[in-house]
Amino acid sequence: MTTSEIIALLPYQKPFLFVDGIDAISEDGITGYYKFKSDEPFYDGHFKNNPLTPGVILTECMAQIGLVCLGIYLSKDEFKENSNPQIALTSHEMDFYLPVLPEEKVMVISEKEVFRFNKLKCKVKMLNEKGELVARGLISGMMKT
């Protein structure tokens, strides 16, 4: 399964798609990226005259790349070309260290902790373009094909 096929299977679309690409993927983890465009709708109100990417959006970006894309890859034998994977976030624990501004590109690195009975648990971290740690944590979800 190619990275473009994985991205095509994501159950999201603009403006709620936070995956631009995947740099590396294996049975053990994934590395991907997203650039937060200045016209993202959430910047209009977060914060007035000082736009910052909300933590919930950073968490969503880490979940889409680090959990959902990896989960699709790990379940690749169950997915058909026109299948509609269903993914539910079951838990997350995040720590945030730096803000993400409009036009900033982030990298998400996820390491598989456990994948059993269609439940995936990963250690995730987000880095900015300088390689500085933006956020890190644990994230879990259930996959249904």
Q: With DSSP H G I counted as helix, E B as strand and the rest as coil, what are the percentages for the chain, rounded to 5?
A: 20, 40, 40
| Pairwise CA distance, residues 59 & 56, whole Å | 5
In order, the DSSP letters of 72-138 are HHHTTTT--TT---EEEEEEEEEEE-S---TT-EEEEEEEEEEEETTEEEEEEEEE-TTS-EEEEEE
Burial of residue 107, with CB atoms counted within 10 A of its CB: 0-12 exposed, 13-18 middle, 19 or more buried: middle
pLDDT at 144 exceeding the cut of 90: no
What CATH number has the domain bearing residue 8? 3.10.129.10
Cβ(4)–Cβ(74) below 8 Å: no
pLDDT at 72: 92
| pLDDT per position as a tens digit, 2-35 | 999 999 989 899 999 999 999 999 999 999 999 9
How many Å apart are CA 111 and CA 137, to the nearest integer? 11
Name beta bridge partners: 91.
Answer: 140
* Structural domain count, the chain: 1
Query: Looking at the annotation, which residues are catalytic?
Result: 46
C-beta of residue 143 within 8 angstroms of C-beta of residue 87: yes
- For 40-71, how does the pLDDT look when each residue is reduced to its tens digit (9 = 90+)? 999 998 998 999 999 999 999 999 999 999 99
The predicted structure's pLDDT at residue 81: 53
Q: For residue range 63-117, what is the model confidence (pLDDT) as tens digits?
A: 999 999 999 999 887 765 556 777 888 899 999 999 999 999 999 999 999 999 8
- In this predicted structure, what is the pLDDT of residue 79? 65
CA distance 102 to 73: 30
Q: What is the pLDDT of residue 78?
A: 75
**pLDDT tens-digit readout, 118-128:** 899 999 999 99
- pLDDT, residue 80, reads 59
Segments forming the whole domain that contains residue 95: 3-144
The β-bridge partners of 122 are 112, 139
